[in-house]
Each structure stands twice: as structure tokens, then as C-alpha cells.
Amino acid sequence: MTTKVELSQEDKGIAGSALMTSAKTGSGSDCHGTPQWLYDFLDREFGPFDLDPCADEFNSKCSRFFTQADDGLKQTWTGKVFANPPYSALKAWVTKAHESVFIDQSAARVVMLIPARTDTGVWHSVVTKGLVFLLKGRLVFAQPEDTLRTATAKWFAKRKRLPTPEESNKRYEIIKRTGAPFPSAVVVFDRNIAQQTQSAIGTTMSVVAVNWNAKNTLEQI
């Protein structure tokens, strides 16, 4: 039996910030692994994917992938591509995705999981040229154990407490299930999707709000 743990707003903020600082400030860990249930759903709907251009040997989603050493920004993207890019360099990766489909035309399609920063320039200049899905709720990203342990230690350090092993493990499990401190979106770049235009009040985009979560997507298998 699984017991639901209720988190206070303070707990949610601390846990999320400890795990996802790079998504907000460009500093700290840039690791935010795609939840497997979400990848499986996207692979069924928009794949099958051939390439993961920003991965490592532990979290790669495709048999063909580029690591940090390969530098996916310098590589040619081909086929159907899935990318969950480093959020600290979001503009560069989103631009690469768009150019691979619309300029170089080396890739047939690129599907990206990105933070829904609709107030930023890259969203208005690049992201809006694709089909955008706004995800309801906050994703729980897959994190390495050392990242989770570090976040747990930060939680107790902020409170100036030395936890018992039992307290540490309990907090570890809570942080492990804590959603990111920002909303997420999926953007699909495909030459068969018409690019959007600038209006007098902003940039229009083809957008769908969708309640993708583990329960809903698993029911569609």
C-alpha cells in the first residue's frame, strides 16, 4: 500500500529548487531526466524516435544518442529526434532543433520537452514556430541518486538539523516524488506544421493544453 504524502508549499519549493536550480537560474545541476511514461507516450504519438541528441549512457532514450562529449549542438540531427535539452542553454538547443527541421532539413521531426517560459524571447522567436502542448501540473523528473541525496542534505542544512537515517530516508522519498518548480511544455517541429506569425499584441502559436500524466497515458496503451 502506498501512502500519499502531502507537501507544504515550503517543502515543494525547497525540494524543487534543490533539484532544479539550473532550470531557473542557469546554475547547479542540469540533470532532469524525462519521465519514462511521458517518453513512451511521445514515442507512440510522434515517433518512433531515432536520435536523442542530449543524453548520456545512463539516461539516453534512443539507441543512437549524443553525450556532452559529443556536443549535440555540433552534430547533424537526422530522422525523428527526441530532445530534453539542458535548460541552462535552452535557446541554443531550441534553435538547433528548429534549424535541423526547417533550415538544414536534416531531421524529419524534432520533439522537445522544455520549460514553459512563455515570457522569454526564444519562445516568441522560435518555439512558437512549432506545435506546442502545455502540460497540466508539474512533472516529476527522473534524478540520479546522488542528486537526490544532495537535495535531501540541503533540505536539512537549511533547517540546521542533523537528521537520523530514518528521517533522511523519509525526506529522500518525498523529494524524489516532488514536481519541478516550473511548468513544462512539449514542442513539435515538423515541416508539415505551418509556422506562426507575429500579431499586434504578441506571437500566435498552435497550442493545446493537455492533461498528460502517468495515469492518463498508461490507460491509452
SS3 of 166-206: the string is HHHHHHHHHHHCCCCCCCEEEEEEECCCCCCCECCCCECCE
Question: In a 3-state reduction of DSSP, which class is residue 119?
Answer: coil
Q: Please indicate, yes or no, if residue 67 is contained in any of the structural domains.
A: yes
pLDDT at position 24 is: 37
Strand partners, 186: 113, 133
For residue range 134-153, list pLDDT tens digits in order: 888 888 877 666 666 777 78
- Read off the pLDDT band of 167 (50, 70, 90): confident
pLDDT at position 161 is: 81
- Asked if residue 141 lies in contact with residue 180, where contact means CB atoms within 8 angstroms, the answer is yes
> Quick one: cell of 5?
504524502
Q: Please indicate, yes or no, if residue 1 is contained in any of the structural domains.
A: no
Q: Please indicate, yes or no, if residue 4 is contained in any of the structural domains.
A: no
Q: Please indicate, yes or no, if residue 129 is contained in any of the structural domains.
A: yes
Q: Please indicate, yes or no, if residue 2 is contained in any of the structural domains.
A: no
The number of folded domains in the chain is 1
Question: In a 3-state reduction of DSSP, which class is residue 65?
Answer: strand
Q: Please indicate, yes or no, if residue 17 is contained in any of the structural domains.
A: yes
- Asked if residue 195 lies in contact with residue 16, where contact means CB atoms within 8 angstroms, the answer is no
Residue scoring higher pLDDT (49 or 16): 49
Report d(CA 219, CA 221) in Å as an integer. Answer: 6
pLDDT at position 152 is: 75
- Backbone φ and ψ of 65, nearest 5°: -150, 160
Q: Please indicate, yes or no, if residue 3 is contained in any of the structural domains.
A: no
Report d(CA 145, CA 72) in Å as an integer. Answer: 25
pLDDT of residue 20 exceeding 70: no
pLDDT at position 210 is: 73
- Asked if residue 42 lies in contact with residue 111, where contact means CB atoms within 8 angstroms, the answer is yes
Determine the structural domain holding residue 67 and report its residue range.
9-218
Residue 85 corresponds to which amino acid?
P
The DSSP output letter for 31 is: -
Give the residue carrying C-alpha cell 522519498. 173
